[in-house]
Amino acid sequence: MHIPSMTTGPRGTRRRRIATATLLVVAVAAAGCASDPDESGSGEGLLAGTTMAYTNATDAAPLYVTMRDGVKAAAKTTGVALETYDNKLDAATVSQNATLIAQSKPDFVLSYNPVEGVYGSIERIYERAGVPCIAVNTPGKDHCQWFNLSNPELCTDTAKAVGTVARERGWTGEDTTVLLVNAASFGEQINNCNAYFYKEIAQWIPGLETIDDVDDLTTTTSTLGDSMVQVDGQAQRGPSYDAVRRALSGIPEDRNLVVYSVADDSTLGAWQAVEQSGRAEATLTAGLGGSPEALEELRSNPSWVAQGDMFIGHWGQYLMAMAAAVEKGVELPFQTLAPEAVLTKDFAVAESIVAPVTDYYRAGEKDAFQLPPLVPVAPGETVFGEKTVGNDYLAATGVLQLFGNVKDLD
């Protein structure tokens, strides 16, 4: 099948469209600064004895706590002395933390800055202090190297997985509505995941109204005829439940549903509303994030047919490898890709990142035993124009080998 949004080929050679895909939080944090000194790691290798600071987007949401704890674990394995800071989703706190870090002058800073309005000013603080910087998830401007996932790949390929099941069931645009749940306040770069998903799913369910470009479906697009309804769930379970419950009252009960959102918590709330409406058997849904609860739904819920997984608890090892590459003087690509996969119960889709959950998780376990293979660095279309993207250069640092969990990496 021709995929309008991407040029396909073997996974290692596909030219990707990369977009900022800031992870969505499900809790509101109070302002204020807090740092957490950690014991020096006992590992060996190129980074042993290195000092680092990590600023977490927030310590008040489980997904980001998983991220922070993964960075701590990776620091211990690689022998890095790490100090962590809580940015609390607050611009003033982000600035306070950056100033403290600049004064302490660690060898590296891993900056998870969740406030778009201060990207540039925070980067300048580190640049003036002479502290090398890696921007996590949210993009750097000039000084900070960039590590992030790919919205286009993850969200497009999730549609391929859901579309495979819908096609097997014979669903068409005559009897199916796609119900999207966004988080409008987070902006278009995050919510375009829904647009990538819909653009692709319309190729798998014949008769759905199509869009020519992801820009044709924005956060303000509420309907596309009978084919699509979009509501704002604020990336939270309660608001998503309420928004979907109201939306279902306007969708005829004899129509099939494809439900998708920009975060696991939102999908869980949406699914609760679908179940309570008695429409579960005629619904297909998929998560995005990889939370333990969503993984359990994938394993046990017949309607939860796919799960976008970003393996966020393992991002720390990639960040350590990036720092080692900087230390060795390696020229990094414009964007270093985070690990990601679309998990299903038992099938793969050719020329995509769709794979059975058992490829990465053992039965009943919540932590992946294996991570996706590294991606060769190649030109790719990004939100900043055509740039180099990939992560296979990390293998030469030897850092990832310390963890022994990246597929096909000796």
pLDDT score of 352 more than 50: yes
The pLDDT assigned to 384 comes to 67
The pLDDT assigned to 40 comes to 54
Among the residue ranges 37-46, 75-84, 241-250, the one predicted with the least confidence is 37-46
Same domain, 248 and 276: yes
Same domain, 22 and 102: yes
Residue, of 12 and 400, whose pLDDT is higher: 400
| Domain contains 376 | yes
Same domain, 295 and 156: yes
- Convert the pLDDT of each residue in 179-215 to its tens digit: 999 988 777 777 889 999 999 999 999 999 999 999 9
| Domain contains 11 | no
Cβ(327)–Cβ(307) below 8 Å: no
Among the residue ranges 8-17, 227-236, 280-289, 364-373, the one predicted with the least confidence is 8-17
- CATH code of the domain containing 156: 3.40.50.2300
pLDDT score of 61 more than 80: no
| Domain contains 343 | yes
| Domain contains 32 | yes
Same domain, 280 and 165: yes
pLDDT score of 28 more than 70: no
Residue, of 21 and 71, whose pLDDT is higher: 71
Same domain, 345 and 396: yes
- Convert the pLDDT of each residue in 83-134 to its tens digit: 999 999 889 999 999 999 999 999 999 999 877 778 889 999 999 999 999 9
Same domain, 233 and 270: yes
- Percent of the chain past pLDDT 90, that is, above it, reads 73
The pLDDT assigned to 405 comes to 97
Same domain, 259 and 172: yes
Residue, of 9 and 196, whose pLDDT is higher: 196
Same domain, 250 and 328: no
383: confidence class by pLDDT, cuts 50, 70, 90: low
| Domain contains 355 | no
Same domain, 156 and 281: yes
Same domain, 301 and 158: yes
- Convert the pLDDT of each residue in 134-188 to its tens digit: 999 878 778 999 998 888 899 999 999 999 999 999 999 999 999 999 988 777 7
| Domain contains 362 | no
Residue, of 12 and 266, whose pLDDT is higher: 266
360: confidence class by pLDDT, cuts 50, 70, 90: very high
Same domain, 34 and 138: yes
Number of separate domains in the chain? 2
Residue, of 400 and 44, whose pLDDT is higher: 400
Residues 41-58, mean pLDDT to the nearest whole number = 87
55: confidence class by pLDDT, cuts 50, 70, 90: very high
Residues 64-69, mean pLDDT to the nearest whole number = 90
pLDDT score of 69 more than 90: yes
| Domain contains 229 | yes
Among the residue ranges 29-38, 132-141, 184-193, 264-273, the one predicted with the least confidence is 29-38
| Domain contains 45 | yes
42: confidence class by pLDDT, cuts 50, 70, 90: low
The pLDDT assigned to 140 comes to 75
Same domain, 82 and 218: no
271: confidence class by pLDDT, cuts 50, 70, 90: very high
For residue 200, what are the domain limits? 151-307
The pLDDT assigned to 396 comes to 97
pLDDT score of 23 more than 90: no
Q: Mean pLDDT, the chain, as a whole number?
A: 89
